[in-house]
Amino acid sequence: MTPIRGSHVLVCGAGGFIGGHLVNTLFAEGAATVRAVDVKPFDEWYQKNPSADSLVLDLQLREPCVKATEGVDSVFQLAADMGGMGFIENNKALCMLSVLTNTHMLVAAREAGVKRFFYSSSACVYNGDKQTSADVVPLKEEDAYPALPEDGYGWEKLFSERMCRHFREDYGLETRVARFHNVYGPLGTWTGGREKAPAAISRKVLEAKHSGSHEIEIWGDGHQTRSFMYIDDCTKGVVDIFNSDILEPINLGSSELVTINQLVDIAEDIAGVKLKRNYNLSAPKGVNGRNSDNTLIQKLLGWEPSIRLRDGMERTMAWIEEQMLAGVSSK
């Protein structure tokens, strides 16, 4: 019997990309009920499960958090103001205001007698001095300290990790924390400024293909390295971590490292085009290198992503192309 099976679950940020997929996964895992909450109006939700109790609430405020946690056993706190590097580098204050959501949700969960609280942190918590080279050494969990996270977004995530720890130690609220590494897939943001690299590259390659321009702008010199985790692997990992006895923050990501140029190679190959690359060296590009060390999660849970980047990108690009050709704009 897992903590999720038969549980009454709350998903915060359920109108977002990962949250929407997670709602479906939790029903598949046997949750008795799922309350899905997001600040966005329903017509802006990425997906909406008809079986969920869906509510539009602003979880930066205390009273909506109290309402959201009524009668639930388990909380998955994914709600945050965030996006890709272009967004978080230019919206540091907005990203830090997510601390209101995490604070009020932890307080409300404790008061409501919630049994277990999952918090979605980020690889942006890691010390920037360990990410200065494209030939990055994969980041282990202990590399978050001494603290030098991504300014704004990363600091907020690291602070909220500590809050989860102290609510567990001081109040007995069972908390679990996963550090997400670049999640991508269908039904996500692919235009508008908040999209991450896989979706942005997919869109740019497809636009170049369909317009006949056969040129693409790449942020930075293309040598920066990253790993990318497909959404199905992410939601499975979230469930496994939630069900586990792992108390400290743990990496949840792929260890399949690629350069941004290699990511473009993959997208070009899928689209069947070869493009002229124009490098925008003044655009936000983040750290030079970041990769997930999965030693701990493999040891404790036997977890490793099952979907290769090439396969995940093929599925993602097929969905984005479908949206583009249908004239649908990203949320």
Catalytic residue list: 153
Q: How far is CA 286 from CA 120, 126, 260, in A?
A: 20, 12, 12
Which residues, 6 or more positions from 234, have their beta carbon under 8 angstroms from its beta carbon? Answer: 18, 21, 180, 183, 252
**Helices marked H in 172-284:** 197-211, 231-243, 260-271
DSSP string, 7-76: -EEEEETTTSHHHHHHHHHHHHTT-SEEEEEESS-GGG-S---TTSEEEE--TTSHHHHHHHHTT-SEEE
Place of tokens 């030098």: 148
Find the distance separating the first CA and the last CA of the chain, reported in whole Å: 37
What count of other Cβ atoms lies within 10 Å of the Cβ of residue 156? 27
Q: Residue 2 carries which DSSP code? A: -
Strand order in the sheet with 116-122: 53-56, 33-38, 8-12, 74-77, 116-122, 174-180, 250-252
